[in-house]
């Protein structure tokens, strides 16, 4: 039996049918989206899966088949998102609503950015003020999905 830092025993439970019925296992892809200079989505392998409660997904109006997990690379979205954060992306939500965070593809590179509609263009914003915003015609940006959750590893 494993023990925690206080010496108490920790039970290790194997997944069971009830566990599977209660949770959805979502893929964390072995690739990163840039919060900085851009990343190429070229290694679309599943690294691991993370479990999310089915009832939470339902309450949030999310559908498991449309969700993927990605890892953030860079600091341009700090303080909201930090380097190495894990983000949950709803691939079914691609309609740009101002000031929400999306995963986008521009010129073949993937970014996680805050978007703001600006006429026929989209203003691409970083939360880190050290990065300047950019403006692109909406046809130049492929919205891959909206970020609906993030997780952070404590250092």
Give the list of residues 6+ apart from residue 11 with CB closer than 8 angstroms, or none: 1
Domain count, the chain: 1
pLDDT range class, residue 5, cuts 50, 70, 90: very low
Alpha helical stretches, state H, the chain: 17-22, 54-59
Q: Is residue 123 part of a domain?
A: yes
pLDDT tens-place string over residues 102-130: 999 998 888 999 999 999 999 999 999 99
pTM of the model: 0.81
Tell me the catalytic residues: 76, 113
- Contact between 62 and 137 under an 8 Å Cβ cutoff? The reply is no
CATH classification at residue 32: 2.10.109.10
pLDDT tens-place string over residues 33-57: 776 666 555 445 677 889 999 999 9
């Amino acid at each position: 039996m494993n023990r925690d830092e206080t010496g108490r025993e920790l039970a290790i439970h194997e997944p069971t049918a009830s566990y599977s019925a209660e949770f959805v296992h979502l893929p964390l892809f072995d690739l990163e989206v840039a919060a900085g200079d851009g990343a190429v989505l070229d290694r679309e392998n599943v690294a691991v899966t993370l479990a999310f409660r089915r009832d939470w997904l339902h309450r949030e109006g999310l559908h498991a088949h449309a969700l993927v997990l990605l890892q953030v690379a860079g600091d341009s979205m700090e303080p909201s998102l930090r380097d190495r954060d894990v983000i949950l992306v709803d691939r079914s939500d691609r309609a740009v609503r101002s000031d929400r965070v999306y995963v986008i593809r521009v010129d073949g590179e993937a970014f996680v950015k805050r978007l703001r509609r600006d006429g026929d263009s989209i203003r691409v914003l970083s939360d880190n003020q050290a990065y300047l915003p950019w403006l692109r015609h909406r046809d130049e940006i492929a919205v891959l999905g909206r970020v609906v959750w993030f997780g952070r590893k404590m250092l």
